Amino acid sequence: MVKSHTSVDEQALASSTVGERLAYNDYTTIDWLHDLVKDSYRLRNIHNKKNLKGKSLALFDASSGWIAAAVIGALTACVAYLVDVAAATVSDWKLGHCTTNPFYTREACCASSTSASEPATSCPDFKTWGDEYAASFGVYVAFALAFGLVSAGVTMLTKGALPSANTSDSGDTEAVAGKTMYMAAGSGIPEIKTILGGFVIPDFLSLKVLVVKAVGAVFAVSTGMCLGKEGPFVHISTCVGYLVANFFPKYRDNERKMREMLSAACAAGLSVAFGAPIGGVLFSYEEISTYFPRKVLWRAFLCSAVAAMVLKELNPTGTGKLVLFETNYGTSYSAVHYLVFVVLGIAGGIFGGVFCKLNFLWSKTFRKYAIIKNHPVFEVFLIVLATALLQYPNPLIREPGDMIIKTLLVDCRTENSAESWVCQNEAREDGNWGYVGWLVYGTLAKLVLTIITFGIKVPSGVIIPALDAGALFGRLLGQYVGGISPGIFAMVGAAAFLAGVSRMTLSLCVIMFELTGELDYVLPHMVAILVAKWVADSLGKEGVYDLAQNVLGHPFLDLDHSLGYIQMADVLVEELIPPEHTMEQITIHVPATNKVKREVLQEKLVQLESRGLMDAGLVLVQNNNILQGYLAEGELSFGLRKLGELYPKDAEVRLLGNAEEGEFDLSSFVDRTPMSVCAKAPMEYAVEMFGKLGLRHLMVTEEGTGRLVGVIIKKRLVAYLDGLKHG
């Protein structure tokens, strides 16, 4: 019965001081230290076998991480290819259809007869739905609404209920059931950050969610809403990483090792989204991962490279190149242009800061109305309708987000740019105020629509809309800077606006030159990105993904931001000691026999379960409250209800010491070396210990005597820090 619930590696820990553990429950905190020790037992067991079989197993174990990374990269590229091709085709159905092949994109359909940058009406093989403006407008809106309903409909299939932490008046952190979550909704990046930070979210990386995310992203992008598929690609690649890693026992049976592979998989997601393999690795390191040792960096590098190579061979864009928005401006910038790049950075920081604040406010107000909260498909319908009505009249933002960027980055001095609508308007000698008006209108529309769109219940990301808004503003500013292509400022403006929204720096700079192939413009990107981050941070320290975590209520210990609040608060660890009645419920006074009555443990288990904290447990003390060990709720429940079936109801349960044959023994599940800290220690100690060591729980002892006075679990610390941020 024990073997059916615990792995061989876990059973090997039964006689050690850290104790045997079961698999983690849903929405609980993993114990990074315990999983480290568990992996050490596994490695010693493999390398102690000196025969040929043992050496072969050791070789396979050492190479399994590289094999898994390569497979994840290849499979992610295959999924990305299908999504890219399907999204491009379905999106063009709003405008018309290809007479030679209905599954061709407009660009592919017109490639043999005319430039893809020309309006659809100039391509003989691509037929629009009507010659009149009103008819085309109506069909556009109808298709957009249909695509939005399909995307929202499939997303509803991933609905799940999770517990959520809540703080009572007594200061104790309780968990309440009924938190609804749509696993495939949004970009998935806030949830992935939560998972990589050490929490378990059930079914979030399942095959079902992967399929729904891919299908939903195709139709969500095709609506024309201010969202992109780049964020969902990161979720998709992480799902692929989880599914592949489960075929390897060292990842399947160890949550710490699993998160190493998931961090590598994240890199593949952005690699295929932008054709930016190096930027993908840096994005995983800078923006998503909490734990990123050097070996994870190497495997992420391989995973991202394989994903980029496979995608290049599949060639979803038809160009045969990995660079999505290749440009060649030729002319270099001068010193005076740094002032323009600084202005773009300031504008990007203001845009990002305003966007984060207003989107957070929108999520906390509008989405709390019952009709919106209980009917998320209705919200999607309203936003698709508003988006279609606002974007269709503007020729610059009528296209999908990636096509908008491609249009705005055009260099009008090249030979093949004469047919571009942007270049035609910029070349007019009778004034281009109408064109300037469309640029202003597009920038403001993107800001407003992105604010109300991000967070709706369809697969969606914020990267492309932020790039669109920045490119529009940069092109607008470039109209008033002579002697240099306005496309340069569109490119730098796109980076600045995304930096303001996401607070990315190094990874974003690399992504931009991989995205455009313009290595000469790294310095302008660096200037604009740094200025944008400084300005945005002055308006609010948290980026869009951090705020999304707060809105969604996921437990996440943000060490960088948390320490700042703690340093300003000047508090001690004793601030987090649970109330006296809570300590009575979770404390077991173990007598000298090291055994307690079964009914005492059963009563304690009922009290733990009634509080709903699946991360909680019982602390064992002896001899005037001296700490002896910690028994987590999951192991206690398993021991009493599964193993307990083999013993009489009045049997005493051994919790400490060496068991004799026939005894009801739970001592193998007890962690006899839990980490502890003095109650009078600065709160920074507790934050650093939870953040750097990945603790699940921390014992608090009295100054001078060493008596146990409290227990802190990670979720309680997170709830306390959230109170400091928003209190």
pLDDT tens by residue, 513-527: 899 888 889 999 999
Say what the pLDDT of residue 221 is: 93
Question: What residues form DSSP beta bridges with 698?
Answer: 712
How large is the average pLDDT for residues 488-494?
95
pLDDT higher than 50, residue 469: yes
Who wins on pLDDT, 644 or 185?
A: 185
pLDDT higher than 60, residue 4: no
Say what the pLDDT of residue 15 is: 56
Say what the pLDDT of residue 323 is: 79
Who wins on pLDDT, 165 or 73?
A: 73
Say what the pLDDT of residue 18 is: 58
Q: What angle do CA 18, 696, 550 make, to 5 degrees?
A: 165
CA atoms within 13 A on the CB side of 203: 15
How large is the average pLDDT for residues 30-35?
86
* pLDDT, averaged across the chain: 86
Between helices 714-726 and 559-569, what is the axis angle to 10°? Answer: 70
Least confident of 77-91, 502-516, 583-597, 645-659: 645-659
Q: Residue 697's closest CA among 682, 677, 678, 681?
A: 677
Say what the pLDDT of residue 10 is: 54
Say what the pLDDT of residue 437 is: 93
Say what the pLDDT of residue 50 is: 77
Which of 235-244, 252-261, 454-463, 586-595 shows the highest mean pLDDT? 235-244
CA atoms within 13 A on the CB side of 459: 33
pLDDT higher than 80, residue 481: yes
Looking at the chain, the domain(s) classified CATH 3.10.580.10 span 559-726
Say what the pLDDT of residue 496 is: 97
Cα separation, 296 vs 413, in Å, equals 44
The 8-class DSSP code of residue 332 comes to P
Q: List Cα–Cα distances, 278 to 105, 133, 298, 480, 507, in angstroms.
A: 29, 44, 11, 34, 8
What is the tens place of the pLDDT at every residue in 630-662? 998 888 888 888 888 888 888 899 999 888 888
What is the tens place of the pLDDT at every residue in 384-443? 999 999 999 999 998 888 889 999 998 887 767 677 888 888 888 777 788 999 999 999
What is the tens place of the pLDDT at every residue in 533-552? 999 999 988 889 888 888 88
Least confident of 323-337, 453-467, 475-489, 493-507: 323-337
User: What is the secondary structure of 568-594 as a DSSP string?
Assistant: HH--BGGGGPPPHHHHHHHEEE--TTS
pLDDT higher than 90, residue 282: yes
Residues shown for the chain: 727
The CATH fold assigned to 68-314 is Clc chloride channel (1.10.3080)
CATH hierarchy code of domain 337-552: 1.10.3080.10
pLDDT band at 12 (very low <50, low <70, confident <90, very high): low
Cα separation, 166 vs 26, in Å, equals 17
Who wins on pLDDT, 236 or 7?
A: 236
Residues 496, 265 contacting (CB under 8 angstroms): no
Q: Residue 198's closest CA among 691, 535, 706, 550?
A: 691
Q: SS3 letters for 247-305?
A: CCHHHHCCHHHHHHHHHHHHHHHHHHHHCCHHHHHHHHHHHHCCCCCHHHHHHHHHHHH
**Identity (one letter) of the amino acid at 115?**
S
Say what the pLDDT of residue 63 is: 92
Say what the pLDDT of residue 178 is: 52
Residues 707, 626 contacting (CB under 8 angstroms): yes
Say what the pLDDT of residue 122 is: 59
pTM comes to 0.88
pLDDT band at 174 (very low <50, low <70, confident <90, very high): very low
Cα separation, 457 vs 460, in Å, equals 8
User: What is the secondary structure of 674-727 as a DSSP string?
Assistant: --EEETTSBHHHHHHHHHHH--SEEEEE-TTT-BEEEEEEHHHHHHHHHHHHH-
How large is the average pLDDT for residues 38-54?
83
Residue 241's H or E segment, with its range, is: helix 230-245
Q: Alpha-carbon torsion 176, 178, 179, 184, what sign?
A: positive
Q: List Cα–Cα distances, 52 to 43, 45, 58, in angstroms.
A: 16, 15, 10
Residues 690, 557 contacting (CB under 8 angstroms): yes
For residue 17, give every residue at least 6 positions away whose Cβ sits within 8 Å of its Cβ, in sequence order, or none.
671, 672, 673
How large is the average pLDDT for residues 98-117?
68
Residues 485, 449 contacting (CB under 8 angstroms): no
pLDDT higher than 70, residue 447: yes
Say what the pLDDT of residue 624 is: 87
pLDDT higher than 60, residue 601: yes
Say what the pLDDT of residue 128 is: 81
pLDDT band at 727 (very low <50, low <70, confident <90, very high): low
Looking at the chain, the domain(s) classified CATH 1.10.3080.10 span 68-314, 337-552
Say what the pLDDT of residue 112 is: 53
Which of 136-145, 483-492, 523-532, 577-586 shows the highest mean pLDDT? 523-532
pLDDT higher than 50, residue 171: no
- Which residue reads 């709720």 in tokens? 633
What is the tens place of the pLDDT at every residue in 344-355? 999 999 999 999
Residues 635, 21 contacting (CB under 8 angstroms): yes
Q: List Cα–Cα distances, 241 to 73, 107, 206, 460, 529, in angstroms.
A: 8, 33, 10, 20, 31
Q: Give 559-726's CATH code, choosing from 3.10.110.10, 3.40.50.970, 3.40.630.30, 3.10.580.10.
A: 3.10.580.10
Q: Please give the structure tokens belonging to residue 245.
A: 């890693």
Say what the pLDDT of residue 335 is: 87
Cα separation, 62 vs 43, in Å, equals 10
The 8-class DSSP code of residue 228 comes to B
Number of other residues whose CB lies within 10 A of the CB of residue 4: 6
The 8-class DSSP code of residue 185 comes to S
Least confident of 121-135, 343-357, 580-594: 121-135
- Provide the percentage of residues in the chain whose pLDDT is more than 70: 91
